[in-house]
Chain A
Amino acid sequence: MKIAVASGKGGTGKTTFSVLFARAIAPALYVDADVEEPNGGIFLKPEIVHEQDFAEPVPKIIPEKCTYCGECARACPYKAIVIIPPPAKKDLFFPELCHSCGVCAFVCPEKGALIEVPKKKGVVRVGKTQDLDFMEGILNIGEPSAVPLIRELKRKIKDYPGDVVIDAPPGTSCPVVEATEDADFVILVAEPTPFGVHDLSLVVEMIEQLSLPHAIVVNKAQEGNFIVEEYAEKKGIEVLYRIPFSEELARMYSKGNLPFDDFREGLKSLYERIKERVG
């Protein structure tokens, strides 16, 4: 079973919940798909056994063959190529704008004038911590899109025989869709504030569009505060679990530790409930 953890708002406790949950249901695989700022490894402290570069093709212009016609620059939807026509005859490439879509190579009318060369955009690291398998993607700073690296992570976990917990990026944009769309179940971690509920409603809208079964976990839950539960009831979404607000937990978190044992039993029964729902 693939379970994705998303939140809409950042800082609600997606990673806190994901690592507590993955630890509780191990043997399993934890995947940090928040590739722009992966931090699950800080808490799980896995031993990394394998690291692989993630590269994508980018254009390279061969000056001897290029006629500086500018077809590539005009076709580029991201304006990553600038061709300065004769007599200046110059080409400029802005790698931070390139999305590796390949249209430049496709439209180039001169054979061999524009070739595609691999460019490293990040790494995929694989490891293990006790009976929990670990994987994370780390995108290079400044890369325009997290989607291709998340797609690569998904290729790698496709045939994993056990349960997978996917720690998705925050927000509701393409990287979140990429990280969640193939999941069997999505857990939405929310915090009980008006802002938290607002952003939760955005990610619920996204998950409904994807038609994925989902439920809510409230993090930093406070006594007498049911703002998330009220929203959930209105929308008919099950609230699976409440992680109480705790200064002690925050203190541990700030040192890279979490009270895994305290949550093991509770999260195991949450897992059973999800299994029931997925069927």
Chain B
Amino acid sequence: MKIFITAKGTDLNSKVDPRFGRADYYVIYDTETGEYTAGENPHKKGQMAVGISFAQIAIENGAKVAISGNFGPNAFEVLRAAGISMFRAKPEQSIKEAVKSFMKGELEEFKESTPREVAEKLEKELK
């Protein structure tokens, strides 16, 4: 099974990026082989529809699970329609730690998207 994780860097020791649409990078981890691929988020600086566009990378790569800190309303809708379950990484977790937590069933599943106020506050803090 492939897990799509928003990342601050391109290896398993990088921290999870707490933003979905405007994350710096993504890592796709395959739980069967233990292998992973990574890439830069090409939509990071886009003006609109960044969450929608970024979610499609997860879909195109056949991910079944997405891990991030937050999911905006549009990204949430797209991922849910594609049957991808969304989970919240714990604060400051690395990709490796987040995957381990997920496998142990320790991560909270998103039942709804992150409210806009929370997302805006996060964006300010990261700046």
Q: Which residues of A contact B (CB under 8 A)?
A: 78-80, 82, 84, 88, 90, 92, 94, 97
Q: Which of A79, A84, A88: most chain B CB closer than 10 A? A: A79
A-B contact pairs, 7 of them (CB 8 A): A79-B49, A79-B53, A82-B56, A82-B78, A82-B81, A88-B81, A97-B52
Given known contacts A92-B77, A92-B78, A94-B74, is B52 in contact with A82 (CB within 8 Å)? Answer: yes
Contact of B49 among A80, A84, A88, A90 (CB under 8 A): A80
Total A-B pairs in contact (CB under 8 Å)?
30
The chain B residue sitting closest to A70, CB to CB, is: B56
Q: Which of A80, A82, A92, A97: most chain B CB closer than 10 A? A: A82
State the CA gap A31–B48 with chains docked (Å): 31
Q: Give the size range of B's interface with the partner.
A: 10 to 19
Contact of B52 among A88, A90, A94 (CB under 8 A): A94
State the CA gap A84–B62 with chains docked (Å): 11
Given known contacts A84-B59, A92-B77, A94-B74, is B48 in contact with A78 (CB within 8 Å)? Answer: yes
- Let me know if A79 and B83 touch, CB within 8 A: no
**Which chain B positions have C-beta within 8 A of A97?**
48-49, 52
Question: For residues 19 through 65 of chain B, which have their beta carbon under 8 Å from a beta carbon of chain A?
Answer: 48-49, 52-53, 55-56, 59
State the CA gap A79–B51 with chains docked (Å): 10
Question: For residues 90 through 127 of chain B, which have their beta carbon under 8 Å from a beta carbon of chain A?
Answer: none
B-side binding surface: helix, strand, loop or mixed?
helix
- Let me know if B82 and A84 touch, CB within 8 A: yes
The chain A residue sitting closest to B50, CB to CB, is: A79
- Let me know if B53 and A84 touch, CB within 8 A: no
Nearest CB of chain A from residue B70's CB, rounded to whole Å = 19
State the CA gap A88–B74 with chains docked (Å): 18
State the CA gap A88–B78 with chains docked (Å): 12
State the CA gap A78–B59 with chains docked (Å): 19
**Which chain B positions have C-beta within 8 A of A90?**
81-82
The chain B residue sitting closest to A78, CB to CB, is: B49
State the CA gap A171–B3 with chains docked (Å): 45
The chain A residue sitting closest to B43, CB to CB, is: A79
Given known contacts A78-B49, A97-B48, is B77 in contact with A88 (CB within 8 Å)? Answer: no
**Which chain B positions have C-beta within 8 A of A94?**
49, 52, 74
State the CA gap A94–B56 with chains docked (Å): 14
**Which chain B positions have C-beta within 8 A of A88?**
81-83
**Which chain A positions have C-beta within 8 A of B59?**
84
State the CA gap A79–B52 with chains docked (Å): 7
State the CA gap A82–B29 with chains docked (Å): 24
State the CA gap A78–B74 with chains docked (Å): 13
**Which chain A positions have C-beta within 8 A of B77?**
92
State the CA gap A80–B81 with chains docked (Å): 15
- Let me know if B48 and A79 touch, CB within 8 A: yes
**Which chain B positions have C-beta within 8 A of A78?**
48-49
Nearest CB of chain B from residue A103's CB, rounded to whole Å = 15
**Which chain B positions have C-beta within 8 A of A80?**
49
Nearest CB of chain B from residue A222's CB, rounded to whole Å = 37
The chain A residue sitting closest to B74, CB to CB, is: A94
Q: Which 4 A-B pairs have the closest CB atoms?
A: A79-B49, A90-B81, A84-B82, A79-B52
